[in-house]
């Protein structure tokens, strides 16, 4: 009897037995470079899982890889430029090893004409595929190896969600679980709806099954992913709301923590806030992108809420969940943004006192409405505003961290500290990074830690005796 994973893998190859696949990559290595968001990271975990199922071993060294795969992002121009630069560097490797297989996939490939541009500029690329047909990667790889063909296949429309793909997760403690794909919001600056497609929700039973399997394998924390998780349930035969899904997940025995991202302010309703308040496994952390503090700019962005409504939602969250950590995304230099508009954003940041913020300079994206706007902001003003925004955000973060000195916090141990291998590292329920020395504590443990020192973007502590 095949498992779901085996049925998917054999269906891809149209083979009768998985045994014919297992030894294809024995003794060979692959390298994956991931650009962009957490959903791209999870996509790469699936690509890695498929390759490992074929016998390949992952490496962090391009020079020893038989397969090099770039999983791309196109949300900002800088990410695209990095892809072009890294592809160019492979020319020498390909010359030394003509059998090296180079693949490129992801959001960037869904843009009209991009695949042809890649092939023209980098003719040594072997495989190009998009976001909607990543599950077919083993088939493409097999054809390149056995037929010597060059493959370019981009599905222009989303298909049904493919369940059961093998996943090679980076962590043994926490995992990403995608609950829905695509976006229906069409913010004027954003290319995601065009490259990820319309909203499609996974069936709740498939989500619950995946999480239960993760818990059985020792995972303590999961992060639910979606372009807009608040929209979960749309399109299901029996509609289930995001709040209802959260309550179902909260009932899973052995699961310790649940996070989710990203939420759209217009859809974060009272039921979700109530679920976070009442469900003990849901962490007190909400990522709620504001993008701008100016009503005029929010309207141009097609965000469907006002500054006043956003603050109303935040105040409700703070009232119902007093210990909540609030994080956000902010764009500066959007077309038409004036100094007055930027001051509105700066004042909002100072009022909310975010625990963290992802700040971005507006990047023009082809075929988005914002790209066609005539009132583009010059680079000097963009960078000046960006620097002022970062300073305001960081001053809030540092002050918030300072308030934790002397407090006892619950930390899930995730691994060794990146800055000091003699220390362990983990996060509080509301997402703060804590580094601490501890004997007899191992990865996956949940411990109480006394914070002894606050650094700018992390905390130092000692395990409570």
Binding-site residues from annotation for [4Fe-4S] cluster: 37, 73, 107, 183, 187, 190
Q: What's the CA gap between 320 and 331, in Å, rounded?
A: 28
- List residues forming the annotated binding site: 37, 73, 107, 183, 187, 190
Residue 262: is the preceding peptide bond cis (ω within 30°)?
A: yes
Question: On the CB side of 209, how many CA atoms lie within 13 Å of its CA?
Answer: 8
H or E segment at 270?
A: helix 270-278
Task: Compute the CA torsion angle 351, 356, 358, 360 (nearest 10 deg).
Answer: 40
Q: Do residues 288 and 265 touch, judged by C-beta distance below 8 A? A: yes
Q: Do residues 81 and 166 touch, judged by C-beta distance below 8 A? A: no
Q: What's the CA gap between 210 and 223, in Å, rounded?
A: 12
- Each residue of 441-458: b (16+ CB within 10 Å) or e? bebbbebebebeebeeeb
Q: What's the CA gap between 275 and 294, in Å, rounded?
A: 30
In 10 A of CB 424, how many CB atoms?
24
* DSSP-derived secondary structure letter, 282: B
Q: What's the CA gap between 197 and 449, in Å, rounded?
A: 44
In 10 A of CB 12, how many CB atoms?
19
Q: What's the CA gap between 188 and 316, in Å, rounded?
A: 28
Residues 6+ apart with CB under 8 A from 372: none
Q: What's the CA gap between 68 and 100, in Å, rounded?
A: 8
């Amino acid at each position: 009897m095949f498992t779901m994973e085996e049925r998917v893998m054999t269906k891809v190859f149209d083979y009768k037995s998985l045994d014919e696949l297992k030894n294809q990559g024995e003794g060979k290595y692959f390298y994956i470079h991931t650009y962009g968001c957490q959903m791209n990271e999870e996509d790469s975990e699936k690509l890695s899982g498929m390759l490992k199922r074929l016998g390949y071993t992952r490496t962090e060294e391009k020079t020893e890889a038989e397969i090099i795969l770039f999983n791309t992002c196109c949300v900002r121009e800088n990410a695209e430029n990095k892809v072009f630069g890294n592809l160019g560097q492979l020319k020498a490797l390909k010359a030394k090893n003509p059998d090296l297989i180079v693949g490129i996939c992801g959001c960037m490939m869904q843009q009209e004409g991009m695949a042809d541009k890649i092939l023209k500029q980098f003719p040594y690329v072997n495989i190009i595929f998009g976001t909607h047909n990543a599950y077919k990667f083993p088939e493409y790889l097999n054809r390149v190896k056995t037929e010597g063909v060059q493959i370019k296949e981009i599905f222009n429309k989303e298909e049904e969600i493919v369940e059961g793909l093998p996943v090679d997760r980076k962590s043994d403690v926490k995992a990403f679980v995608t609950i829905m794909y695509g976006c229906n919001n069409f913010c004027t600056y954003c290319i995601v709806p065009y490259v990820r497609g319309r909203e499609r929700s996974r069936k709740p039973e498939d989500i619950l099954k995946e999480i239960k399997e993760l818990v059985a394998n020792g995972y303590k924390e999961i992060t639910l992913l979606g372009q807009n998780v608040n929209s979960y349930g749309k399109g299901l035969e029996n509609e289930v709301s995001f709040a209802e899904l959260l309550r179902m997940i909260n009932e899973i025995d052995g699961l310790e923590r649940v996070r989710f991202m990203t939420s759209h302010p217009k859809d974060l309703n009272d039921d979700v806030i109530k679920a976070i308040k009442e469900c003990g496994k849901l962490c007190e952390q909400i990522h709620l992108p504001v993008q701008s503090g100016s009503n005029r700019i929010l309207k141009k962005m097609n965000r469907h809420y006002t500054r006043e409504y956003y603050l109303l939602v935040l105040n409700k969250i703070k009232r119902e969940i007093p210990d909540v950590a609030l994080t956000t995304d902010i764009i500066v230099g959007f077309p038409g943004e004036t100094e007055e508009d930027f001051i509105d954003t700066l004042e909002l940041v100072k009022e909310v006192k975010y625990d963290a913020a992802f700040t971005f300079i507006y990047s023009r994206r082809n075929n988005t409405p914002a790209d066609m706007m005539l009132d583009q902001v010059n680079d000097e003003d963009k960078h000046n505003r960006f620097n002022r925004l970062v300073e305001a955000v960081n001053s809030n973060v540092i002050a918030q961290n300072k308030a934790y000195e002397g407090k006892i916090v619950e930390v899930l141990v995730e691994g060794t500290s990146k800055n000091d291998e003699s220390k362990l590292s983990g996060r509080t329920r509301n997402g703060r990074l804590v580094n601490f020395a501890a004997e007899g504590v191992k990865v996956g443990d949940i411990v109480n830690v006394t914070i002894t020192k606050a650094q700018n973007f992390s905390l130092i502590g000692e395990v409570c005796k």
